[in-house]
Structure 1
Amino acid sequence: MKTLAFLAAMTAAVATLPAHAEERRIAVSGTGTALSAPDMATITLGVTNQDKQASDAMQATSNAVAQILARLDELGLEPRDVQTRDLSLSPVWSNGRTPGNEQREITGFVASNRVFVRVRDLDSLGQIMDAVIQDGANDFGGLSFSIQDPKPLQAEARADAVADARAKAEQLAKAAGLTLGEVVSIDEHGGGVRPVAQMREMAMMSDAGSVPVAGGEVSVAVNISMVFEIAE
């Protein structure tokens, strides 16, 4: 009986305490974006050759890549900006079965060598692409533009993201008849550097023989989440 009486008294005491439901807060997200012309490009290029002999296929590929690497050096690219990304040698199999032979046969070999290249002088980009094609590059895995030092743009985008989130929080508080309080937390997530194809074009043709390339603009985006208190 004493135990039951004690529990009843504790329940009554808790019931008389001030009701603290969930803390009065507003959670919002914000996005900021900064735009800039790119100042660096990355190219993935390669050489692929096929021959009946594996050694011949690999030798032809190696010779072309060696010439390309030498040309890149002549054009002023630094060793840190040139890196072999993939080197492969694969058999080529016959498509069908020969009479009296149920096994597929190897008819040749394909050798490939791919190189990742960073170009920091965009004025020479078209000339570089034209040169490596002439030297035997016959496999391009893509071209992308970026910023060498994205920190200033990230700072600009981050400030815009905070302003965006605060504006949303103030709008919500006003619509609900509340007063926005102090910031409780800020979390950054996602974002990054992206090309903006529809923006202005930047021609990069060093001479009439160069490959025409348009750099456009790149955007640096920052996404944040903010939580605000509701002022009493």
Structure 2
Amino acid sequence: MKSAFKSLMLGSALTAAVALSATAPAMAQTAQPVQMMQPAPSLNLSAHGEVKAAPDMATISFGVQTEAPTAQQAMRDNASRMTEVMAALRRAGIAERDVQTSGLNLSAQYDYVQNEPPKLRGYQAVNRVTVVINDLTKVGTTADAVVAAGVNQIDGISFGLKDPTAAENQARQMAVRALQAKAQLYAQALNVQLSGIRNLSEGGGYSPEPQPIFAVRAMAMREDASTPVAAGELTIRIDITGVYDIAR
């Protein structure tokens, strides 16, 4: 009985081995090597377009700083002076919507002497305001008016455009033309043909830059002269990057 069982097992094993050996050549013949896809050759280029434009608005940031022995007195003095400043802005023709509080701070002030603990001198209150001026002829006179009303800090002035869309679009067109010309130049130098642009991305744009302005009216040329302010020109720049496919 055991001999018959061993014979049966041996026969099954031989049959499986024969079947495996018969299919092995077929599997070897159908297996194909994996081919890695090579990326298409391309040109990765960048260009920019730049236009100049005259500003039609200005933004001034200024503040009122007061000091007093107590915090309450410092805040009261600051509020009284800022009230006069707001009234001066209204008289200068600045609309309420163009005036925004940008910061309010109260801090303790100390005197420091070597080898001694700090001594409280009092408190300092600072109220900062940002004003948009839509008439550039009023920039200098507005700065003088708020200084006369109590402003003792002017942080800076920036000129801008109420609507930069047209200037940005013009810069975009110039950037695209520059990118196309650069791509054609490279294609000719490499003796290849371009098959089209695969990707285009944009950066840059309109960004007004702050400029310093005199904070003290006494620095004007004459006592009756308004602070001179020159608007100059703005630079609107658009940067783009493009990927061009090269025909195989």
Instruction: Give the alignment's TM-score, normalised by structure 1.
Output: 0.84
Deviations 1:167-188 (A, max 9, x none): 1111111100012222222111
Distance 1:36-1:120 versus aligned 2 partners, 3 A rule: same
1:123 matched to which residue of 2?
A: 137
Quote the offset at 1:59 in angstroms.
Answer: 1.6
2:67 matched to which residue of 1?
A: 50
Which of these residues, 53, 61, 80, is aligned with residue 78 of structure 2? 61
2:199 corresponds to 1:185: yes
Question: What does 1:212-227 correspond to in 2, within 5 Å?
Answer: 212-227=228-243
2:184 matched to which residue of 1?
A: 170
Larger Rg: 2
Quote the offset at 1:130 in angstroms.
Answer: 0.7
2:113 matched to which residue of 1?
A: 96
Distance 1:20-1:64 versus aligned 2 partners, 3 A rule: same
2:238 corresponds to 1:228: no
Question: One-letter code of the match for 2:27?
Answer: F
Q: Is the 8 A contact 1:130 1:209 kept in 2?
A: no
2:20 corresponds to 1:6: no
Runs of 4+ with >6 A deviation: none
Distance 1:177-1:97 versus aligned 2 partners, 3 A rule: closer
Instruction: Give the alignment's TM-score, normalised by structure 2.
Output: 0.79
Q: What percent of counterpart residues are identical?
A: 33
Q: Which has the higher strand share?
A: 1
Deviations 1:154-211 (A, max 9, x none): 00011111111111111111100012222222111233324599xxxxxxxxxx5211
Distance 1:9-1:65 versus aligned 2 partners, 3 A rule: same
Gaps of 5+ in 1: 198-207
2:100 corresponds to 1:79: no
2:169 corresponds to 1:155: yes
Q: Is the 8 A contact 1:196 1:216 kept in 2?
A: no
2:221 matched to which residue of 1?
A: none
Distance 1:28-1:47 versus aligned 2 partners, 3 A rule: same
Rounded Cα–Cα distance in structure 1 between residues aligned with 2:226 and 2:109: 35
Rounded Cα–Cα distance in structure 2 between residues aligned with 1:7 and 1:93: 88
Distance 1:7-1:157 versus aligned 2 partners, 3 A rule: farther
Q: Is the 8 A contact 1:195 1:219 kept in 2?
A: no
Rounded Cα–Cα distance in structure 1 between residues aligned with 2:183 and 2:239: 15
2:217 matched to which residue of 1?
A: none
2:157 matched to which residue of 1?
A: 143
Distance 1:145-1:30 versus aligned 2 partners, 3 A rule: same
Question: One-letter code of the match for 2:70?
Answer: Q
Equivalenced residues, count: 216
Superposition RMSD on alpha carbons, in Å? 2.5
| Aligned-partner SS, 1:141 | strand
Question: One-letter code of the match for 1:173?
Answer: A
Gaps of 5+ in 2: 1-20, 212-223
| Aligned-partner SS, 1:148 | coil
